[in-house]
Amino acid sequence: MTSEELDIEFREAVDRINDYTEPFPADFLLRLYAYYKKATNDYSRPSSSKPLITAFKTNALFQIQSITQDEAKETYIGLVNNYFLYRK
Return the CATH number at 54.
1.20.80.10
pTM, two decimal places: 0.91
Tens of pLDDT, residues 39-49: 999 878 887 78
Distance, CA of 1 to CA of 73 (rounded, Å) = 12
Tens of pLDDT, residues 71-82: 999 999 999 999
When the pLDDT of each residue in the chain is averaged and rounded to a whole number, the result is 93
Domain coverage including residue 81: 3-20+29-85
For the chain, percent of residues with pLDDT exceeding 90: 81
Instruction: Please say whether the beta carbons of 33 and 41 come within 8 A.
Output: no
Which pLDDT band holds residue 88 (cuts at 50, 70, 90)?
low
CB-based burial of residue 35 (10 Å sphere; 0-12 exposed, 13-18 middle, 19+ buried)?
Answer: buried
Q: What's the domain count of the chain?
A: 1
